[in-house]
Amino acid sequence: MDVFRPTTYSRRVQTFLAPKFGSSLATSFLCLLLLLPCCLLQSVQQCPPHNEISPCQCSVKKNGLDILCEFTDNQKIQHTMTTLKSKSGLIIFYLKLRHNNLPKLTGFIFFGLDIRHLTIHNSSLAVVEESSLSSIGKALTQLDLSQNSLAVVPSPALKSLNHLLILNLNHNKISALHSNAFQGLDTLEILTIFENKLSLIEPDSFKGLEKKLKRLNLGGNELTRVPQTSLSKLENLRKLELLHNRIALIEEGDFEGLHNLDSLVLAHNQLRTIPPRVFAHLPLLNSLELDGNHIHTVDPAAFSGLE
């Protein structure tokens, strides 16, 4: 980002200011110049006094603050958020809420905060109100809601997270993915729903993820078939994990549409046969894991298209 280096800056400003001061171009450079001190200040972050956020802890990291709240409750977390909201210009690079009693994430809890990576882990989270997360959609790139009590994907709360790259819903109680569950997450590259209770994935579940999704982990669930219709649009997917499910049957066409798939994990399922041409729609497949099944018949044409 050359343009933000002061030297480059003054040189350009001079060039533009000298001959035509007052032109709109010069004015916009002048405005940028005036903004510069606050940009520089923003990179020097300071933690609030310990007693104002206790029992949470704060440390300063290279890219912003790292805030950790453990073994506490909603009231204390709310109090800490109120303190953080009262300081302007804070960049919260990590907000980690772990081992808390936080069954509900209430609306506007983070309103006005600049949070880049949010973790709410092992905190009995079951309800995520829509406006709890939608207010931080402009900055949030990673969201980890693992090891909680979510029974559904909190789609309304997620739909404004249009800078999110990674979503982790591992170790929850999600039993079904409904149509448009991830709508709005156009930038998402990694989605992981490992160790849930998934037995149903509706055809349009991954709608909106077609352009960017690269890794999808559906391992540790209760799937009995490859969710072919929902997967078929994920043309940029590189890695698909279906480890530890109950898939007893795969057929030609199951992986149709996954033109860019590089790695497929089907280990620890209940497969007995590998039928002809089942992987033939995967021209770029490099890695295939089939261990931990009960395979007794492999069709001579099982791997055709992969050679």
Ligand X SMILES: *[C@@H]1O[C@H](CO)[C@@H](O)[C@H](O)[C@H]1NC(C)=O
Residues that bind ligand X in the complex, under the rule CB under 6 A: 71, 99, 122
CB-based contact 205:177 (threshold 8 Å): yes
Which CB atom, from 4 or from 71, has the smaller least distance to ligand X? 71
- Nearest distance from residue 265's CB to ligand X, in Å? 25
Residue nearest ligand X, Cβ-based: 99
Which CB atom, from 122 or from 260, has the smaller least distance to ligand X? 122
Distance CA 35, CA 222 (A): 54
Distance CA 167, CA 137 (A): 13
Distance CA 107, CA 110 (A): 8
- Nearest distance from residue 259's CB to ligand X, in Å? 39
- Nearest distance from residue 195's CB to ligand X, in Å? 13
Please list the alpha-helical segments (H only) found in the chain.
6-17, 24-42, 50-53, 74-86, 130-133, 155-158, 228-231
Which CB atom, from 147 or from 269, has the smaller least distance to ligand X? 147
Distance CA 172, CA 155 (A): 15
State the sign of the Cα–Cα–Cα–Cα dihedral 58, 60, 62, 63.
positive
Which CB atom, from 99 or from 238, has the smaller least distance to ligand X? 99
Pairing status of strand 57-61 against strand 64-70? antiparallel
How big is the CA angle at 152 (ends 109 and 210), to the nearest 5 degrees?
95
- Nearest distance from residue 39's CB to ligand X, in Å? 39
Q: Is 172 exposed, middle or buried (0-12, 13-18, 19+ CB in 10 A)?
A: buried
Q: Is 120 exposed, middle or buried (0-12, 13-18, 19+ CB in 10 A)?
A: buried
- Nearest distance from residue 99's CB to ligand X, in Å? 4
- Nearest distance from residue 122's CB to ligand X, in Å? 4
Which CB atom, from 69 or from 231, has the smaller least distance to ligand X? 69
3-class DSSP state for residue 48?
A: coil
- Nearest distance from residue 100's CB to ligand X, in Å? 6
